[in-house]
């Protein structure tokens, strides 16, 4: 009985190691780049899952923290300020800065829940984006809409990851190298998320999500626990942002549109809120399928001589359709967490909860 | 008084705009007492609970638990001070399992933070095991032995009331405030609950009870206070209070003779 899961883990590990080569050989090297982005979005989705899935705080401005992480990396490792710190020094700073902003967003919104919180976080996202866009004067901090260019790649033992690595006579391309770095971080963060979920802190988050008043009455310091959720989620996004900046080599405020926030939220809703495998599946589907659709344009050109249906339009169309179908057939997501599944299935359950207005003390 | 009361409520008022939900209410609950709080619907009983547990800010007055002030403190501080409660309308964490609900109750008495959880330090693991064991014990104590894996929202009504008590007990209170704990229960369940209350008292706990079931109050409580329109109109031994003219008037309406 015990050997079986262990074997499965070994096979999974081998698959993850071989994946870029399989994908590269089967679909072409451009798909390895897609794979890199899938991992970045898995990181983001894991972060947002803490805020939305665990603690039940609807955050629509999550990409703001991704942007902060990315800009911290860019400013400290690019010719913009002439600073070139190593990645292992910057990534913790990216996480800390994003986490700090998470607390900054969390503090004034402690009393808000649901729709109201969503609106404020939406606003927060726009504030950050507009700041990044305009902070090129009077002092040029972010280089405004032009963004920051020539960001240092990650360097590991003297080798910059933006160059292929020669290994046993083989040339391993840059996107493959980044894949392994991103994979390592993703597995690390996944472990953190899993362990947090099943802990005293994770239970406090769940209690907060279920009933804030009862959580407070059971001795949960709701303020600290909420701020912790915001800070943790934001720190994960900050890490993803730093990795993104180094991978891409160029960032501008345009990289961090509101659409990205929705995309990450869609990933966890589609995959199954609160459930880590679901969240990962969501990220794979929502990054992979649009990429696949891109090739539909080439197919049309080959078959019909012209592009009848623009793949970009088709993408939005299918996206909408998928979400509508989801809401009808699998409202808890493709791989729902045990709790969400029962929550949505159960029509009975406890007496109507007392109104949230009961909680009139200072939060 | 020789031994100071465990809970001292002094001249507490709570106003919602123009409405005075509590007006100058004072009462004191002694150690080891089962103290009943009764009164017609809307008399302010639950409001007093909410004031005591920090969900409402007092408009005036003071509340002390064993000499330490509770007024102006946050709900989680009040739990730490040793006052736990249940809710009239049952506020369980419906989508967590019954055992997890009780485990949440251990929150104020445990320490493990993010680092402990992520690194699974020996200390954090030992604490987690202790939380689980204590929660299991409490489930068994209230009579929910094999219901640990059931979602709280799927438990029967009576079991949900029991679970709320187990969850409150997990916080290690000195005073347990129960808001209509036997409402909607059948006579057998009621009897089991009063047995549970007596067992808790025998274990050294002080109970403050909001209840409508007159028989239960008469049987269990050492003393009762009667609230009506936010004021305390009587206090004393149940048998005496039952004969009080103002109390009869409050319950039956009309003028007291």
* Greatest Cα-to-Cα distance within chain B, rounded to the nearest angstrom: 71
Lowest mean pLDDT among A338-352, B22-36, B166-180, B182-196: A338-352
- Contact list in B for residue A340 (CB cut-off 8 A) is 95
Give the number of other CB atoms < 10 A from CB of residue A29: 14
| CB B12 within 8 Å of CB B61 | yes
Measured in whole angstroms, the distance separating CA A217 from the mean position of its chain's CA atoms is 33
Indicate the SS3 state at residue A164: coil
Residue A121's nearest CA partner among A43, A229, A203 is A229
| CB B27 within 8 Å of CB B232 | yes
pLDDT at A288: 86
**Mutation for testing the B interface, residue in A348, A361, A362 having most B CBs under 10 Å:** A361
Exposure string for B204-220, b = 16+ CB within 10 A, e = fewer = ebbbbbbbebeebbeeb
pLDDT at A111: 84
B168 touches chain A (CB under 8 A): yes
Provide, rounded to the nearest whole percent, the portion of chain B with pLDDT above 70.
97
Residues with Cβ < 8 Å from B133, sequence gap 6 or more? none
pLDDT at A341: 57
Give the number of other CB atoms < 10 A from CB of residue A322: 15
> Nearest CB to A210: which of B74, B94, B116?
B94
Give the pairing of strands B206-210 and A170-172: unpaired
Q: Which residues pair with B83 in a beta bridge?
A: B175
Mean pLDDT in order along chain A per 10 residues (363 residues): 76 90 86 93 95 92 96 95 93 97 92 87 94 90 92 88 82 90 96 93 95 95 95 96 95 92 90 87 88 79 78 79 85 74 48 41 39
pLDDT band at B163 (very low <50, low <70, confident <90, very high): very high
Q: Do B87 and A217 touch (CB under 8 A)?
A: yes
pLDDT in tens, B92-150: 999 999 999 999 999 999 998 899 999 999 999 999 999 999 999 999 999 999 999 99
Indicate the SS3 state at residue A315: helix
Q: Integer distance in angstroms from the first to the last C-alpha of chain B? A: 34
> Nearest CB to B131: which of A200, A222, A361?
A200
ipTM over the 0.90 cut-off: yes
Query: If you compute the radius of gyration of chain A from its CA atoms, what whole number of angstroms results?
Result: 22
> Nearest CB to A354: which of B54, B79, B91?
B91
Burial class (CB in 10 A: 0-12, 13-18, 19+), B60: middle
pLDDT at A343: 54
Backbone angles phi, psi at A85, to 5 degrees: -75, 155
pLDDT at B93: 95
- Contact list in B for residue A360 (CB cut-off 8 A) is 55-57
pLDDT at B29: 95
- Contact list in B for residue A201 (CB cut-off 8 A) is 112-114, 117
B127 touches chain A (CB under 8 A): yes
Q: How far apart are CA A219 and CA A64, in angstroms?
A: 32
> Nearest CB to A201: which of B88, B109, B114?
B114
Which residues, numbered 306 to 335 in chain A, qualify as contacts with chain B under a Cβ-Cβ cut-off of 8 Å? Answer: none
> Nearest CB to A361: which of B54, B94, B96?
B54
> Nearest CB to A213: which of B91, B112, B124?
B91
pLDDT at A349: 38
Average pLDDT score over chain B: 91
Q: How far apart are CA B170 and CA B209, in angstroms?
A: 18
Using omega within 30 degrees of 0 as the cis cutoff, is the peptide bond preceding A75 cis?
no
**Which one is predicted more confidently, B168 or A271?**
B168
pLDDT at B4: 75
Give the pairing of strands B175-179 and B83-85: parallel
| CB A202 within 8 Å of CB A228 | no
B103 touches chain A (CB under 8 A): yes
Give the number of other CB atoms < 10 A from CB of residue B6: 22
**Mutation for testing the B interface, residue in A54, A95, A189, A218 having most B CBs under 10 Å:** A218
pLDDT at A338: 65
SS3 letters for chain B?
A: CCCCCCEEEEEEEEEECCEEEEEEEEEEECCCCEEEEECCCCCCHHHHHHHHCCCCCCCEEEEEECCEECCCCCHHHHHHHCEEECCCCCCCCCCCEHHHHHHHHCHHHCCCCHHHHHHCCHHHHHHHHHHHHHHHHHHHHCCCCCCCCCEHHHCCHHHHHHHHHHHHHCCCCCEEEEECCCCCCCHHHHHHHHHHHHHHHHCCCEEEEECCCHHHHHHHCCEEEEEECCEEEEEECHHHHHCCHHHHHHHHCCCCC
- Residue B245 C-alpha, separation from nearest chain A C-alpha, in angstroms: 34
A195 touches chain B (CB under 8 A): yes
Q: How far apart are CA A318 and CA A305, in angstroms?
A: 24
Backbone angles phi, psi at B25, to 5 degrees: -90, 130
Give the pairing of strands B19-29 and B34-38: unpaired
A357 touches chain B (CB under 8 A): no
Q: At residue B168, does pLDDT exceed 70?
A: yes
pLDDT at A306: 77
């Amino acid at each position: 009985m015990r050997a079986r899961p262990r074997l499965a883990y070994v096979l999974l590990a081998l698959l993850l190691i071989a994946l870029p080569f399989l994908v590269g050989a089967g679909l072409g090297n451009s798909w390895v780049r897609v794979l890199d982005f899938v991992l970045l979005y898995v990181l983001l989705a894991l972060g947002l899952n803490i805020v939305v899935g665990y603690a039940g705080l609807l955050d629509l401005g999550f990409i703001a923290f991704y942007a902060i992480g990315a800009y911290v990396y860019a400013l400290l490792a690019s010719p913009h300020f002439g600073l070139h710190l190593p990645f292992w020094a910057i990534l913790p700073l990216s996480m800390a800065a994003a986490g700090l902003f998470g607390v900054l967003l969390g503090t004034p919104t402690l009393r808000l829940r649901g729709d109201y919180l969503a609106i404020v976080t939406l606003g927060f996202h726009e504030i950050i984006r507009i700041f990044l866009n305009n902070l090129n004067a009077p002092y040029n901090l972010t280089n405004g809409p032009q963004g920051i260019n020539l960001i240092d790649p990650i360097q590991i033992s003297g080798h910059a990851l933006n160059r292929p690595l020669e290994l046993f006579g083989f040339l391993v391309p840059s996107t493959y190298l980044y894949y392994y770095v991103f994979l390592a971080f993703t597995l690390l963060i996944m472990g953190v998320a899993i362990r947090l979920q099943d802990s005293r802190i994770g239970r406090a988050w769940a209690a907060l999500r279920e009933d804030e008043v009862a959580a407070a009455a059971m001795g949960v310091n709701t303020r600290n626990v909420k701020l912790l959720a915001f800070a943790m989620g934001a720190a994960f996004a900050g890490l993803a942002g730093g990795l993104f900046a180094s991978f891409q080599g160029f960032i501008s405020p345009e990289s961090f549109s509101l659409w990205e926030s929705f995309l990450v939220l869609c990933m966890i809703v589609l995959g199954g809120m609160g459930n880590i495998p679901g969240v990962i599946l969501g990220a794979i589907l929502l990054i992979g399928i649009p990429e696949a659709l891109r090739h539909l344009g080439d197919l049309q050109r080959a078959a019909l001589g012209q592009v009848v249906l623009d793949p970009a339009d088709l993408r939005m169309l299918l996206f909408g359709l998928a979400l509508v179908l989801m809401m009808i057939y699998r409202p808890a997501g493709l791989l729902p967490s045990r709790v969400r599944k029962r929550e949505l299935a159960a029509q009975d359950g406890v007496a109507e909860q007392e109104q949230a207005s009961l909680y009139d003390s200072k939060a | 008084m020789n031994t100071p009361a465990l809970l001292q409520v002094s001249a507490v008022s709570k106003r919602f705009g123009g409405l005075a939900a509590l007006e100058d209410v004072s009462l004191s609950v002694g150690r080891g007492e089962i103290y009943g709080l009764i009164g017609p619907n809307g008399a302010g009983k639950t409001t007093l609970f909410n004031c005591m547990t920090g969900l409402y800010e007092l408009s005036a007055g003071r509340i002390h638990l064993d000499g330490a002030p509770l007024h102006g403190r946050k709900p989680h501080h009040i739990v730490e001070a040793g006052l736990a409660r249940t809710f009239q309308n049952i506020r369980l964490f419906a989508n967590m399992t019954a055992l997890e609900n009780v485990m949440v109750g251990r929150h104020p008495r445990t320490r493990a933070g993010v680092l402990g959880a992520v690194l699974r330090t020996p200390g954090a693991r030992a604490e987690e095991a202790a939380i689980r064991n204590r929660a299991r014990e409490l489930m068994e104590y209230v009579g929910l032995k094999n219901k640990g894996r059931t979602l709280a929202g799927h438990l029967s009504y009576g079991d949900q009331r029991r679970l709320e008590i187990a969850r409150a007990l997990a916080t290690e209170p000195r005073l347990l405030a129960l808001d209509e704990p036997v409402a909607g229960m059948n006579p057998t369940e009621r009897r089991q609950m009063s047995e549970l209350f007596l067992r808790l008292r025998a274990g050294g706990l002080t109970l403050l009870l909001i209840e409508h079931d007159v028989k239960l109050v008469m049987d269990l409580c050492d003393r009762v206070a009667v609230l009506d329109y936010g004021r305390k109109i009587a206090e004393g031994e149940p048998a005496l209070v039952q004969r009080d003219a103002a109390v009869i008037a409050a319950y039956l309406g009309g003028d007291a003779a």
